[in-house]
Amino acid sequence: MDNSNRYLVETADISFAPSVSSAILLRSMTPIKAAKTLLAVGGLPYDTSGPLVASLRGAYPSGTLPNLPGSRDEVIDAEKVLAPQDGQADMQVGDKGTKNAFEQAIREKHSIVHLAVHALADTANPDHAAIFLLGDKSSGTDGTLDSAEVLTLKVRANMVVLSACETAVGRLEGQEGISTLSHAFLLAGAHTVVSTLWTIDDTFSAFLMSQFYADIAHGQTTSAALRNAKLELLKTFGPQAVPYRWAAYTLEGADNYAIPFE
């Protein structure tokens, strides 16, 4: 809240960067023009995929992850909102959402990459922070994509949206800022990353993301679009829209341009 008892988001665009030098560098980069509008992963059948294979690495909990009921609708809505841009979309929904498929697809240029999946933060060992996709027996890969592996990807996207829990949480690493999954995607080549600070609610997340992409499609800058989505959520849900429901979403990196669509 500011001195007028209003949320800061009501009067300002807010964005973050790992450091001042990285902010200057990311803002000066030329936006990527990509034939493919969207690469989206969501609606994964975690409940039928068996125990978390990554637990065999010794760094992750064992057991089966619960499904994310709203994640399928979230990525499908994103495709519908961005469809008028006449671009192609790589939709890795349901059983198609394997780690191997994602690593292959992200080699191509995309305007936006959206991941509506489970994630795990690790403040003690930032390299263990990970997003969880599906394993692929044919390629011999598990479904865990940790920060160290993200750094090996060549991400060619204007924006990566990590619509998962605590993807902006990590450990302070001095001048390098906070070591997080979002930071890893920036280092891998993304110009902008939208991530979260805590556990997010499916219903409010789906609403916020739908509004966010509508503004992106209409030429808003990334930071303005995220701010407007939060304001629309406040307007629509009123007293129910406490900060816990929307303030988790943060934007890092380039915040000063509208994403171009071919």
Q: Per-residue DSSP letters for 28-53?
A: HSPPP--SEEEEEEE---GGGS-S-G
Residue 199 — pLDDT band, cuts 50, 70, 90? confident
Specify the DSSP element, H or E, that contains 225.
helix 222-237
Whether the pLDDT of residue 61 is over 80: the answer is no
What average pLDDT does the segment 51-67 reach?
58
Residue 3 — pLDDT band, cuts 50, 70, 90? confident
Domains of the chain, each with CATH number or no CATH: 8-251 (3.40.50.1460)
Q: What is the pTM of this model?
A: 0.88
Residue 109, pLDDT score:
93
- Coil, strand or helix: which one is 89? strand
pLDDT tens figures, 17-53: 888 888 899 999 999 988 889 999 999 998 886 545 4
Residue 233 sits at φ, ψ, to 5 deg, of -65, -45
